[in-house]
Amino acid sequence: MNISKAVKDNLEQLSDLLGNPKDLVTEAHGLDDAAGLAYLSSLTDHQDIQANLLQPLMPLLVEPNLSIDKVHLLLPKTTPHRRLDLETAASDLLEGRTVVFLKGQTAALGFATPGWAKHPIKEPTSERVIRGPREGFTETIDENIGMIRRWIKDPRLRVDPMELGRSTKTQIAVMYLSEVAQPRLVKEVWSRLEAIDIDGIIESGYIEQLIKDRRASIYPLTQATERSDKVASAILEGRVAIFVDKSPFVILVPVTVNELYQSPEDYYFDFWLGSFLRLGRLISNNLAVALPGLYVALVTINPELLPTQLALAIASSRMKIPFPLIIEVLLLELAVEVFREAGLRIPGTVGETLGVVSGVVLGLVGVQSGLVSPVTVVIVAITAIASFSGPNYSVGIAWRLLKYILLFAGTFLGLFGVTIAGILILTHAADVKSFGVSYLAPWAPLQWREMADAPLRAPFWFRWLRPATYRPQDKLRSGGTKKEDETHE
């Protein structure tokens, strides 16, 4: 629909186009309706409109033959969008802009006047660290991009915009360092994003699932993070970040299994401590996946593998238990899953208290009543705690599911079953790629230099190259900085 020369007609047609919504404000100003403003009060800042748009505009309205170009030049608000039809003007309204019509003009101007409710920047709740910035992403894409710009002040930083979702028209931004990230990778990210045809993107999780290399894979083949420092360091390594408006999670691609147990604070501490923390996390992750399966396999099928004293102690503790071990473990695992889910939904301190009370009380009562053995409670508790040791919640979920595969394999085929199931799980991991990168890198294929940083943490003087895994164009990271003791000699 073309923009009419009569301001009132435009305002009425715009209102019709949007179905006369409650929050649409249309105002005509000046003699003979010389100018008209339209905006959605729910998405705009009224004071901003008054101070920076309406007040400077009013004196101009007395001028005869006021043109769009003149308003564009004289108003303090910068970079308005010039619109030639009512449909795009309506889109401007939906994105929180204020549209200005002028009498006798067949074009309109859309001024950015955002004013919707925003969360303040807070510490990421799912990726806490002891040392490091307390800065987590918010639901506003521009703020999130700004956070990264504060980290990386490099003119090569590219922020390519796009829009996804036929109804939601969600803003997406693809961020990378232009002379570092592999062009093929950037192209691949674009082609996968452009292939998405969906009515709406509500959260970045939608995009994660739609751009995965293997959609049915249980493994997280992209990395979602709330931490701005993590995104900044990933971009410096040559990876690509995908920002999604209304989502505090930024997607990083490609990802390897090695990234999933690393925390940014590994690099904020000395490399001895960083390595120790990382190794501990790796062991915890493995325990979270394999411990229940190994326990059931060793106790029920292969007790001869255990030291005699330990085997006898476990057997005596289970003498009065009425269930087979697998049922006992599954009951406790189910209880843990229920506590976990309930703990997330119950508000604040009540949830924490209830979680502790239910865990302690039910565990004690369960043991005393002879429903579960103390050893099984210990095993399930260690597994539950270990599953939280990973730096990423979504990764923990994948490990939780894999745990059940090993549990059932151990129940039916003992240690042989656990070993076979473990290899099959690994085979699937070896089979998948994340944006062309081997998921098991740097162990498969063997990349010796990268392996210094996995599973340990390589010291900075050794990390003078960017990870070859992501095939960066500019390989040099630190210019071959010498060891500290060497430079002082």
Partner 1 sequence: MSKERTAIGIWLYIPLLIIPVLSYGLLNLPNYAVAVMGANGYLGPLLAALIILPGLVAIYLLARRFPGQTIIEQGKSILGWLGTITGIVYLVVNISILTMFTRDICNLVHAYFLVKTPLYIIVLVYLFSAAYVASRGIETIARINSFVMLPALAVLIFLVAISYQNISWTRVLPILSPHISNYFKGGMASVYSYYLLGVSALTLPFLKPLKAFPRIAGGSLAFLAVFYVFFSLCTIGIYGHKYLLRFGWPALEMVHPTNFPYLLLEQAGLLMLIDWIAMILIGTGYYYYSISLGSSQVSRTFDYKKWVWILLPIKFFMISAPHNVTETKVVVEFVAKFGWIVIFAYPIILWLIAVVQRKRGPANAS
Q: Which residues bind partner 1 (CB under 8 A)?
A: 301-302, 304-308, 310, 413-417, 419-420, 422-424, 426-427, 429-431, 438, 440, 443-447
Are the C-beta atoms of residues 115 and 98 closer than 8 Å to each other? Answer: no
CB nearer partner 1, residue 204 or residue 438: 438
Residue 265 CB, nearest approach to partner 1 (Å): 26
Give residue 276's identity as a one-letter amino acid code. Answer: F
Pick the closest to residue 157 from 186, 133, 137 (CA basis): 186
Q: Which residues contact 360 (CB under 8 A, 6 or more apart)?
A: none
CB nearer partner 1, residue 124 or residue 410: 410
Residue 437 CB, nearest approach to partner 1 (Å): 12
CB nearer partner 1, residue 319 or residue 446: 446
Residue 445 CB, nearest approach to partner 1 (Å): 5
CB nearer partner 1, residue 241 or residue 289: 289
String of DSSP letters for 335-392? HHHHHHHHHHHS-HHHHHHHHHHHHHHHHHHHHHTTSS-HHHHHHHHHHHHHHT-SS-
CB nearer partner 1, residue 327 or residue 420: 420
Cα 262 to Cα 132: distance, rounded to the nearest angstrom: 14
CB nearer partner 1, residue 152 or residue 306: 306
Cα 433 to Cα 436: distance, rounded to the nearest angstrom: 5
Strand (E) positions, 380-427?
none
Return the SS3 of 396. helix
Cα 252 to Cα 242: distance, rounded to the nearest angstrom: 6
Q: How far is CA 245 from the centre of its chain?
A: 12
Pick the closest to residue 60 from 48, 45, 47, 77 (CA basis): 77
Cα 489 to Cα 478: distance, rounded to the nearest angstrom: 20
Residue 474 CB, nearest approach to partner 1 (Å): 23
What is the separation, in whole angstroms, between the first and last Cα of the chain? 76
Residue 419 CB, nearest approach to partner 1 (Å): 5
Residue showing tokens 């001869």:
304
Residue showing tokens 């999780």:
205
Residue 454 CB, nearest approach to partner 1 (Å): 12
Q: Crossing angle for the helix pair 271-296 and 393-431, nearest 10 degrees? A: 80
CB nearer partner 1, residue 302 or residue 394: 302
Residue 414 CB, nearest approach to partner 1 (Å): 6
CB nearer partner 1, residue 82 or residue 449: 449
| 387-389-395-398 Cα dihedral, nearest 10 degrees | -10
Q: Which residues contact 153 (CB under 8 A, 6 or more apart)?
A: none
219 DSSP assignment: S
Cα 145 to Cα 134: distance, rounded to the nearest angstrom: 16
Cα 402 to Cα 418: distance, rounded to the nearest angstrom: 11
Cis bond before residue 248 (omega within 30° of 0): no
Residue 147 CB, nearest approach to partner 1 (Å): 36
Residue 213 CB, nearest approach to partner 1 (Å): 13
Cα 221 to Cα 204: distance, rounded to the nearest angstrom: 14
Residue 272 CB, nearest approach to partner 1 (Å): 22
CB nearer partner 1, residue 268 or residue 443: 443
CB nearer partner 1, residue 347 or residue 445: 445
Distance of CA 129 to CAs 125, 132, 229, 263, Å? 10, 6, 11, 8
Cα 343 to Cα 393: distance, rounded to the nearest angstrom: 14
Are the C-beta atoms of residues 433 and 219 closer than 8 Å to each other? Answer: no
Residue 468 CB, nearest approach to partner 1 (Å): 12
CB nearer partner 1, residue 381 or residue 440: 440
Residue 413 CB, nearest approach to partner 1 (Å): 6
CB nearer partner 1, residue 40 or residue 425: 425
